[in-house]
Chain A
Amino acid sequence: MKLPKHVALTSVALAGALALTACGSDNNSGEGDTGSDTGSSVSGTLNGEGSSAQKNAIDEAIASFSANNPDATVNYNATGSGDGVKNFIAKQVDFAGSDSALKDEAVDGVVETDQAAERCAGNPAWNLPLVAGPIAIAYNLPGVEGLTLDPTVLSEVMLGKIKNWNDPKIAALNEGVELPSTAISVFFRSDESGTTDNFQKYLSGSAPEAWTAEPSKVWPGTAGEGRTKSDGVAQGVKNVEGGITYVEWSYATDNQLGVAQIDNGAGAVELTGESAGKALAAAEVAGEGNDLKLSLDYATKEAGTYPIVMVTYEIVCSKGLDADKTTLVKSFLKHFASDETQGTLEEAGFAPIPAEIATKVNTAIDAIS
């Protein structure tokens, strides 16, 4: 897709003439002031790397972005959050995608946020939440639909303390549902994963007595079987009757697995884009200023809220990139955060970021210079 220079120049010159049409197709987000950033098409190459959890979402955003900006190329390499942050700091990529915000404590004597600031020529890097991925509790029990679990029972199931599906503790949450005596087979990620980390954060946040392990990217349980990557655990559940796992929503629906409803104390909530979005709306911003590191309230008892949600961030320099890159980054992130793009993500298994957060994200993107 690299165009010769004179073609690129011509298209820049034409951009003014095209601006009207571009506005028409691009700017349906309803926020009038975004026109100046997304109206004219931009060019150049932007490289990102990181979390595989957000791959499908960012791919979707990249596809529609390049359709609007044929001269711009955005690459995203889903190698994992750790690699993404590492290569962002090493200036190999322009932004990183990560399942967790940059760490501000020292590891091996280095602090990620400091390293990132150094990379951005002395300016802080910001964590911008752009993708919300609900984690589904996927199970395989033919004939049982709409299984309900609460955090305590879920913890005990995942730790192997509850061994059969017709255990009284599960039955108590599922009155009227006939549960088979099938043994429970737990599947978990054998690779280190942000999904594991976020799922544990949920369990320890909502059922601290049942889930005592410190949340990390490594699964601490000893029951069941570990399988590699999201596809591995989903296939595990699919192949074993009585299987249960935690996995990104899209993998559960793609494999036609049952998805459990979660009862956080205010009744069973089914997983939908809307119910997961509510969990995000209730989140608090833990970062300072335009650093939108979020802190989710996992124990939320808000009605209709699906609480097991992971937020993936785009990590960008607040300042310090060269002018062309800055324009491109802003333009792409604006597009990613727009209602239009976010609205297309639900099909891919993500929840759109709610309006309150989207506004803050837009303010932050505008402040990048």
Chain B
Amino acid sequence: MSTITGHSELDAEPSGDKASTGRRGDRIFGGLATGSGIFVVVLVIAVGGFLLSQAVPALLKNDANFLFDRVWEVNDSGMRFGIPDLLYVTVVSSLMAMIIAVPIAVLVALFLTQYAPKRLASPAAYLVDLLAAVPSIVYGIWGFYVFRPYTTGFQDWLAEHFGWTVLLEGPVSLGTVFLASIVLAIMILPIITAISREVFAQTPSTHKEGALALGATRWEMIRTAVIPFGTPGVISASMLGLGRALGETVAVMIIVGTNPGIFRFSLFAGGETFASKIANNSAEFGSSSKVGAFIAAGLMLFILTFLVNAAARVIIERRKAFSE
């Protein structure tokens, strides 16, 4: 933060502190950093390549339209599979989770950085981070066995009064997408909170003090200085959270029931996401073409996550122009 002007001891003997390792250190470090960067890119390409190589043979054998047909019959006698139901449940449950989690996470982050006294802020932040350490199977079991009974009354009420909207139409299944969304929201809350907290804490104090000096109340200061500064960070945080929600496997598998054959757009129906479908059937992967069908679904999830992240990049880039 502070810039040193004038004479100092360091200037007199620049090589006296053994900090310099010569050109070699520079080359090694540079090489390691570049190597790691390349490694990640190669890794992602390799994953994509693997998914493609496994999925393509199965897709070629597919007698149904992979993108539009609502069937999943992969057995030894023939292959007919399509993903629209999986795509719908994956996207809807994740979006619902985002709608619940993002506002709460932002508020928690604002509380921790702007309102809470220092002594309270760090233990509270630590507690929120702990939520991320709970394994997803625990969330699944808790969600279905402990939490579900408390939500049935609310779900029935929603279905009764707002059933005219397609999304909340009854009847209410036992394990609903709605319930899974709430549990997913709790699961992604710590990720979004942690990153939002970091960016809000970075708000330059000059911005904040400037706003307060102009007569802004604390809420107005947050609205005019903290939130605009933190928006790109919040978007990145949300995308990380969305990534986790899209790919969540075990919790969704335990909570949500399935209704094959009868597809409903309602949140009160059951369904399967890409990841839960793969996990649920992994024990009985027999032939390679059958595995391929599930890998093809995995490939779609890969592409979906890629698209979501790309979209997030575009939004962040645009926002930057306004916030700086």
Contacts and interface: CB of A to CB of B under 8 A. Distances in A.
B257 A191 contact: no
- Interface size class on chain B is 20 to 34
Contacts of B253: 228
* Most A C-beta atoms less than 10 A away, residue of B144, B145, B260, B289: B260
A225 B284 contact: no
B287 interface: yes
- Interface size class on chain A is 20 to 34
B260 A191 contact: no
A216 B290 CA distance: 14
B145 A82 contact: no
B262 A222 contact: yes
B236 interface: no
Contact of A228 (B75, B262, B280): B280
B286 A86 contact: yes
A108 B289 CA distance: 7
A232 B141 CA distance: 11
Given A81-B284, A107-B76, A217-B284, A228 B174 contact: no
Contacts of A86: 285-286
Interface string A226-248: 11100010011001100000000
A43 to B, nearest CB: 31
Contacts of B283: 52, 79-80, 82-83, 191-192
Contacts of B260: 190, 219, 222, 226
Nearest to B288: A108
B174 A218 contact: no
A193 interface: yes
Interface in A102-125: 103, 105, 107-108, 110
A218 B73 contact: yes
Interface in A22-67: 52
B54 interface: no
B261 A82 contact: no
B73 A239 contact: no
B144 to A, nearest CB: 8
B287 A227 contact: no
Nearest to B76: A107
B65 interface: no
B281 A192 contact: yes
Interface of A: 52, 79-83, 85-86, 103, 105, 107-108, 110, 185, 187, 190-193, 216-219, 221-222, 225-228, 232, 235-236, 239-240
